[in-house]
Amino acid sequence: MSPLHPALSDYLTIRRALGYKLARAEKLLGQYLSYLDERDEQLVTVENAVAWATLPAAGNPNWWAYRLTCVRGFAKYLHALDPDHQVPPADVVPHKPRRATPYLYSEQELLALITATGSLRFPLRRATYRTLIGLLSVTGMRVGEAIRLDNNDVDLKHGVLIVRETKFGKTRELPLHASTVDALREYLRLRDRVCPEPRVDAVFITPVGTRLLYCGVNWTFLQLVQRAALKPRSPRCRPTLHSLRHSFAVRTLLDWYRDGLEVQPRLPLLSTYLGHVHPRDSYWYLEAAPELLEIAAGRLERSQGGER
């Protein structure tokens, strides 16, 4: 085995001790080392890093750049140990990073999605997706956080969810509205009646008692999108699972503006609730919806007019 493999293990251990998860990076770097093994190369070079990163030849430049970014982090670590390893320049693969336009669900569209869960097979599956979509839409949780919830993470008495070990090892508590608590309680009663001996301790389970997997949840969600007749608004604005999180954030900001509250001082609260690593991630939502920009501009105009 190439000495690069144990070096990769050490690199991942160090980075994870700093709070990085690196699940995708680990997979990609493993593939890169297999690429080097096939060519009997034991040094990271600009040439072999770029050659691997730009596979497949018909791929997306943004994906190529991401692959190379993973290699660059590992290459920096190796270069500190052995200067013979080369660090690929950051701009060697031209790309144009573009953040997808969030699909902001209206109340009618959310209702259509939840109604579409009635078309799923098995009562437990219908209840699971109805409750999961509802929870994501009113808490802004990441999908992975929701499907990782265990029973002891749900405190119905105090109306709180505990979201454990998310990005950078953070754990946070999410207070819930009384109606959300009632919906969770109803789901858990049905779940325990239909599947009294599940195979896992998860809150959300499949009809056979196993934890939901992201790929399965995403596939089912796309089926529900079709049944609810939701259409993309543009090639870069499509109804996705993650857009439920975007929609929650934007609705929260809109409600604050409409209630006449000062939004800027409250953004750290939204950032904490969403589990953002950096508060600046929450500021992005201020430009995510034209309605938000219009309200903010109107408030600014009024404040400037009052100063004259």
pTM equals 0.71
What is the DSSP secondary-structure string of 117-160? Answer: GGGSSSHHHHHHHHHHHHHHHHH---HHHHHT-BGGGEETTTTE
| 142 in active site | yes
Question: Is pLDDT above 70 for 47?
Answer: yes
**Residue the block writes with tokens 């190379």:** 68
Token digits of residue 182: 């009632």
76, 172, 242, 266: the active-site residue: 242
pLDDT digits (tens, 9 = 90+) for 1-19: 689 999 999 999 998 876 6
Q: Which residues pair with 163 in a beta bridge?
A: 172
Residues with Cβ within 8 Å of 100's Cβ and at least 6 positions away in sequence, in order, are: 236, 237, 238
Residues with Cβ within 8 Å of 185's Cβ and at least 6 positions away in sequence, in order, are: 156
pLDDT digits (tens, 9 = 90+) for 117-155: 999 999 999 999 999 999 999 999 999 999 999 999 999
| 167 in active site | yes
**Whole-number pLDDT of residue 40:** 95
| Residues 96-104, mean pLDDT to the nearest whole number | 73
245, 251, 257, 273: the active-site residue: 245
| 245 in active site | yes
| 276 in active site | yes
| 242 in active site | yes
